[in-house]
Amino acid sequence: MTVREWELVGAPNARDLGGLVGADGRRVRAGLLLRTPALGRLTDEDLPVLATLAPACVVDLRYAAEIAQAPPDRLPGGPTVVHLPVHDAAHPVFTYVSALLLGHDLEAYGALAERGTPAAMAAIYRWFVTGESARRGFGAALRLAADPANLPLVFHCSAGKDRTGWLAVVLLTVLGVDGAAIRADYLRHNELTVSLREVLLEAMRRRRPELDVDAVRPVLEVRPEYLDAAYDEVARVHGSFEAYLRDGLGVTDELVSAVRANLLE
Instruction: Tell me what pLDDT residue 94 has.
Output: 67
Write the DSSP assignment of 133-146 as a string of letters: HHHHHHHHHHHHHT
pTM: 0.92
Query: 57-60 and 153-156 as β-strands: parallel, antiparallel, unpaired?
Result: parallel
Instruction: Tell me what pLDDT residue 2 has.
Output: 42
Strands of the sheet containing 80-83, edge to edge, are 15-16, 33-36, 153-156, 57-60, 80-83
* % of the chain exceeding 90 in pLDDT: 72
Mean pLDDT of the chain: 90
> Which pLDDT band holds residue 236 (cuts at 50, 70, 90)?
very high
- What CATH code is assigned to 15-263? 3.90.190.10
> Which pLDDT band holds residue 107 (cuts at 50, 70, 90)?
low
Write the DSSP assignment of 205-256 as a string of letters: HHH-TT--HHHHHHHHS--HHHHHHHHHHHHHHHSSHHHIIIIIT---HHHH
Residue with the bigger pLDDT between 6 and 244: it is 244
Residue pair 155/15 in contact by the 8 Å Cβ criterion: no
Computed on alpha carbons and rounded to an integer, the radius of gyration of the chain in Å comes to 18
Instruction: Tell me what pLDDT residue 238 has.
Output: 98
Residue 110 has pLDDT above 90, yes or no: no
Rounded Cα gap, residues 16 and 10, in angstroms: 16
Instruction: Tell me what pLDDT residue 3 has.
Output: 47
Instruction: Tell me what pLDDT residue 72 has.
Output: 96
Active site residue 157: yes
Domain ranges of the chain: 15-263
Residue 89 has pLDDT above 50, yes or no: yes
Instruction: Given the residues 33, 129, 157, 245, select the one marked as catalytic.
Output: 157
Instruction: Tell me what pLDDT residue 216 has.
Output: 77
Query: 33-36 and 57-60 as β-strands: parallel, antiparallel, unpaired?
Result: unpaired
Instruction: Tell me what pLDDT residue 207 has.
Output: 73
Residue 53 has pLDDT above 90, yes or no: yes
Rounded Cα gap, residues 152 and 150, in angstroms: 6
CA distances from 150 to 105, 155, 165, 199, 247 (A): 38, 11, 20, 35, 24
Give per-residue pLDDT as tens, 143-190. Answer: 999 999 999 999 999 999 999 999 999 999 999 999 999 999 999 999
Residue 136 has pLDDT above 50, yes or no: yes
Which segment of 9-23, 73-87, 114-128, 206-220 scores lowest on mean pLDDT? 206-220
- CA 147 to chain CA centroid, nearest Å: 20
Residue 215, φ and ψ in degrees, nearest 5? -85, -15
Cβ neighbourhood burial of 48 (10 Å; 0-12, 13-18, 19+): exposed
How many CA atoms are closer than 13 Å to the CA of 150, on its beta-carbon side?
22
Q: Which residues contact 17 (CB under 8 A, 6 or more apart)?
A: 28, 33, 34, 35, 168, 171, 172, 185
> Which pLDDT band holds residue 55 (cuts at 50, 70, 90)?
very high
Residue 111 has pLDDT above 70, yes or no: no
Please give the average per-residue pLDDT across 55-63, as a whole number: 97
Instruction: Tell me what pLDDT residue 132 has.
Output: 96
H-assigned helices in the chain: 46-53, 64-69, 93-102, 109-115, 118-130, 132-145, 163-174, 179-192, 194-207, 213-220, 224-238, 241-243, 253-263
Residue 56 has pLDDT above 50, yes or no: yes
Rounded Cα gap, residues 58 and 53, in angstroms: 12
